[in-house]
Amino acid sequence: MLRRLDLPYAVIGAVIVAIVVLPAHLVLRVDIVFADRLRDLLLLIFFTTIGLSAKLGALRQGGKPLLILCAITVLLLVLRNIAGTAVAIAWGAHPFYGLIAGSLSFVGGPGTALAWAREGQAMGLSASPIVAIGAATMAALSGAMVSGPITGWIVRRHRLHAAANSEESVPFVIPHEDTPPPASDKDGLERLLSTILVIAAAVFIGDTINALARGAGLLLPGFLCAMLAGVLITNLTDVVGYRLDFAPIEKGGEVALHMFLVIALMGAQLAAVATILTPLVINLMLQLAITTIVTYFILFRLLGRDYDAAVTVGGFLGFGISSMPVAMATMDEVAKCYGPSAKAFLLITLAGSFFVDLANAFVAKAFLSLPLYAAP
């Protein structure tokens, strides 16, 4: 049954653990923490492998579909904040709580929501962190659980199939045939060690870029810097004529992604949701309805209603409800079940990694400039 729902195995196991450990917090007053630093490192490794698989020449392949995806992303951000504000006002709360429970949680994730919650505290809204944790937790869980099933339903409903040459349609993911299998155990060990070296170098360079940007007053997400470092390395190797071994890089990225999801979801603070459960559930239902309508009736049709459009919809649902790791895990699961779509991975990576965070910050700032959101 779970396989038919197209849920990543990591999500299934992690949610079970989150539910099991909940009584430890509620009854025994014991808080269980699941390796936050390791979780953050795994996120950096995953996005590094994405960057290492990216070619600058693939950017032009985005074209009109990428513009459509970015425009629909902005539309979704605006609608999310309007819906969240409406729920907050109807519940008698300050409209700023609606922003936190809107795009800042459902697109930005826990980090973004908590960062903006500090702004709410500065305005005198003391419940901002609780709203941020609760909304972001529900977003993470719901996004991981609904994006795969909705995407699988679209594929089956429209009887879509991957194109026979879909792996070569976009030069974004390098086919495995480019790298010959190892001839011996020694060769396999050398491939593994060289892959670890390349990933470690990219993470270090990304951290250096992030530190330099922070020193210049520019705050960038750590995973974005790691991905940019991977893009830099893979394109420099093309210039000098050195071919990276992409098979272990892609496998390492897949392992890091699923381990990140397991740790992040196991540590979801379900108890924080209970304190404001009713308005959060109302907001969640409204947000999911808006996302599904925008995704299926607008984005899917504008992208051509083919298999690539369906997989792109899965990624859009992932980062539009939860986060980029959920988006990539959803597309990876759909690709395993129904076939690859390099174009979808390219579009979602470009829109979800390079565009959505900046757009989310801009939209949130625009809402906060309205008199409705002034400090109480």
DSSP per residue, 171-232: TTSPPGGGSPPPSSHHHHHHHHHHHHHHHHHHHHHHHHHHHHHHHTT----HHHHHHHHHHH
- Distant-in-sequence, close-in-space partners of 199: CB < 8 Å, separation ≥ 6: 45, 48, 49, 52, 249, 252
The answer to the question of residue 171 being in a domain is yes
The length of the chain in residues reads 376
- Distant-in-sequence, close-in-space partners of 107: CB < 8 Å, separation ≥ 6: 76, 77, 80, 319, 320, 321, 356, 360
The answer to the question of residue 4 being in a domain is no
- Residue 127 tokens read as 């419940």
The answer to the question of residue 1 being in a domain is no
Q: Which of 131, 144, 372, 172 is nearest to 273 (CA)?
A: 131
From the number of C-beta atoms within 10 Å of its C-beta (0-12, 13-18, 19+), residue 227 rates as buried
Determine what percent of the chain falls in helix, strand and coil, rounding each to the nearest 5. Answer: 80, 0, 20
DSSP per residue, 3-17: TTTT--HHHHHHHHH
Residue 60 neighbours by CB distance under 10 Å: 8
The answer to the question of residue 247 being in a domain is yes
How is residue 55 annotated by DSSP? -
The answer to the question of residue 121 being in a domain is yes
Q: Structural domain tally of the chain?
A: 1
DSSP per residue, 296-341: IIIIHHHTTSSHHHHHHHHHHHHHHHT-HHHHHHHHHHHHHHH---
pLDDT at 168: 41
The answer to the question of residue 2 being in a domain is no
Alpha carbon distances (Å) from 346 to 54, 63, 285, 324, 367: 8, 11, 30, 13, 30
pTM score, whole prediction: 0.68
Residue-by-residue pLDDT tens, the chain, 376 positions: 666 555 667 777 887 888 888 888 788 888 787 877 888 888 888 878 877 876 666 556 668 898 999 999 999 999 999 999 999 999 999 999 999 999 988 987 776 787 788 788 888 888 888 888 788 878 878 887 889 899 999 999 999 988 755 444 343 443 444 445 545 566 778 888 888 899 999 999 988 988 888 888 776 667 778 888 888 898 888 788 888 887 888 888 888 888 887 887 787 667 766 778 899 999 999 999 999 999 999 999 999 999 999 999 999 998 889 877 788 888 988 888 888 888 888 888 878 766 787 788 789 888 988 999 888 7
The answer to the question of residue 3 being in a domain is no
> pLDDT by residue (tens digit) across 37-91?
888 888 888 878 877 876 666 556 668 898 999 999 999 999 999 999 999 999 9
Residue numbers of the domain that contains 302: 9-373
Alpha carbon distances (Å) from 303 to 35, 55, 62, 67, 298: 40, 23, 12, 10, 9
Which domain CATH number covers 18?
Answer: 1.20.1530
